[in-house]
Structure 1
């Protein structure tokens, strides 16, 4: 039982750390009204482990904070990632549905943060389009490539029976 808790915490911490590093390394296009946050590819990880849920949330929280985001972005952007991770986990029975919750959550939440938090003068529907396209690239395309690759090594990486 103790080993499972340690494994859960270790996986969550590693996912959070990788999310932060990817957000920081790719910072020039991880923020703004046109963004492709490479770290969002990790949002498929709830397919493999529930530890990804807190890992993604904490990683996004720290990544947003270190990236210089305003408080409303740190809070609500991270909550959008949390919601996406929870629903991805709930949809894990069908791997093709796993990327949809973070795409939808961020497409709906981030434009409002940009409009009312950063006073971006663009219309919200336009920013939904730009953020949505970025999320499709990072979660839908890069995330599915990551999911397919990791799925080949699922038993070794996530210590689970296939």
Structure 2
């Protein structure tokens, strides 16, 4: 039991760390009304391990804090990633090709509200949803699925069962 909980914690911490590094390295395109957060490709990881759920949440939280985000973005942006991760975990059990949809949907709905009401970006919500949605499709849908197919071959080695 102790070994599984340690493995879970290590996997979650590694995913969080990678998320933070990717957010930091690609900071110029990770924030704003037109954004492609490369780290969001990692939202495919709950298809492999439940440890990715807290890992992505904590990674996004730290990434937003260190990226200089405002409090509404830190809280609600991280919650959007958490919602996406939880539903990715459940959707991927039914059909792995649906795995990128939850983070795309949750971020496309929540992040434009943060941009509009948290940052005061004076663009129509539908336009913000379109710009954020395109970025999410690129990061979660395209990059995430590339990551999915690359990791699928090695899932038994990389993601030993933690639950």
- Normalised to the residue count of structure 1, the TM-score between the two structures is 0.98
Residue of structure 2 in register with 1:102 after alignment: 103
Once superposed, which parts of structure 1, at least 4 consecutive aligned residues long, lie more than 6 Å away? none
Q: What is aligned with 2:136?
A: 135
Q: 1:92 aligns to what SS in structure 2? A: helix
Structure 2: tracts of 5 or more residues without a match: none
Task: Give the structure-2-normalised TM-score.
Answer: 0.97
Secondary structure, counterpart of 1:68 in structure 2? coil
User: Within the alignment, does 1:61 sit opposite 2:32 as a pair?
Assistant: no
* Structure-2 separation of matches of 1:64 and 1:107: 17
1:84-139: CA deviation from partner (whole Å, max 9, x where unpaired): 00000011121110000000000000000000010101111000000000000000
User: Match for residue 72 of structure 1?
Assistant: 72
> Per-residue deviation at 1:159?
1.8
Higher relative contact order (CA 8 A, sep 6+): 2
Distance 1:40 1:49 in 2: 16
Offset at 1:158? 0.6
Which position in structure 2 is the counterpart of 1:91?
91
Cα distance, 1:9 vs structure 2: 0.1
Matches of 2:97 and 2:159, distance apart in 1: 20
Q: CA RMSD in A?
A: 0.5
